[in-house]
Amino acid sequence: MALILSKILIYPIKSCGGISLSSSKAESRGLQYDRRWMLIDVIGRCITQRESSAMALMRIELHKDCLVVYHTDEVDDQILVPFLNAEELSNSPRLEVTLWDDICEAIVYPDFINKWFSNKINMDCRLVYMPDDSIRKVDPRYAADGEITSFSDGYPILLLGQASLDDLNQRMADPIPINRFRPNLVFTGGAPYQEDDIESFTIDKVQMKGVKLCARCNIPTINQDTGISKSEPTATLATYRLVDKKILFGQNVLIKNPGTIKIGDELVIH
């Protein structure tokens, strides 16, 4: 059975709401705009839904020259996050930020933007952007040719099969949507967990490579519409997807060459 790309999702600000697209440019560090922005705490460490579940309720719209961001509880209170022009990219203040074991440079947005986000997620934070000359390398144990990534947890793309979610939902009393797992690419067709075994594949002319199954944290337990965390789906996944004390769900993927992908494209396995 053919594997067909059914969803393309980006999360411009790490750990905030996602955007569903009909097509996207696949760039060296991930899909265009995906996790190029991030919230950091007062000492420069990344903030995610692990620290502030309110981030689940932040919605983002992608416009020609900016992001429009709002909280679901206050839809009319929106803020514009402008894309940085060449001069701003060159002259804006930078600082070193920490994302897990990685340290890289980022550009800080103005205080009024930082205050808005601090109010929405109930903790002091700053919004930063990863410019093209900020290099964050994929873990060398899994990189093929020194690949880089954005502010993702570690890899340019997260791939997930719809059949895997369907199988999980059949095991639970209350089914959950795929946004709990924050994938970038979702495909239909094939067997549940077929992504586990996918290595080299092509979507249109874009070559990709699956390199490591995704070990899940507690974020899938957070309802992305309420911000409330419960035991599922982790409790159920732990009964059959636990390997070496890690719950595995989804495949981390490298991008071997840039290009454009669209919904309806076939995943051609090599």
What pLDDT does residue 97 have? Answer: 99
* Tens digit of each residue's pLDDT (9 = 90 or more) over 28-82: 999 999 999 999 999 999 999 999 999 999 999 999 999 999 999 999 999 999 9
Phi/psi-derived region of residue 235, left when phi > 0, alpha when psi is between -120 and 50, beta in every other case: alpha
- pLDDT exceeds 90 at position 1: no
* Tens digit of each residue's pLDDT (9 = 90 or more) over 6-17: 999 999 999 999
Sheet with 94-99, edge to edge strand ranges: 37-40, 126-129, 102-108, 94-99
pTM summary value: 0.97
Q: How many domains does the chain have?
A: 1
* Tens digit of each residue's pLDDT (9 = 90 or more) over 236-246: 999 999 999 99
Task: Give the distance, in angstroms, between the CA of residue 186 and the centroid of all CA atoms in the same chain.
Answer: 13
* Tens digit of each residue's pLDDT (9 = 90 or more) over 165-211: 999 999 999 999 999 999 999 999 999 999 999 999 999 999 999 99
pLDDT band at 26 (very low <50, low <70, confident <90, very high): very high
* Tens digit of each residue's pLDDT (9 = 90 or more) over 126-157: 999 999 999 999 999 999 899 999 999 999 99
Q: Which domain, by its residues, includes 209? A: 3-269
Task: Give the distance, in angstroms, between the CA of residue 93 and the centroid of all CA atoms in the same chain.
Answer: 25
DSSP state of 222: B
Q: Are strands 266-269 and 74-82 parallel, antiparallel or unpaired?
A: unpaired
* Mean pLDDT value across residues 92-103: 95
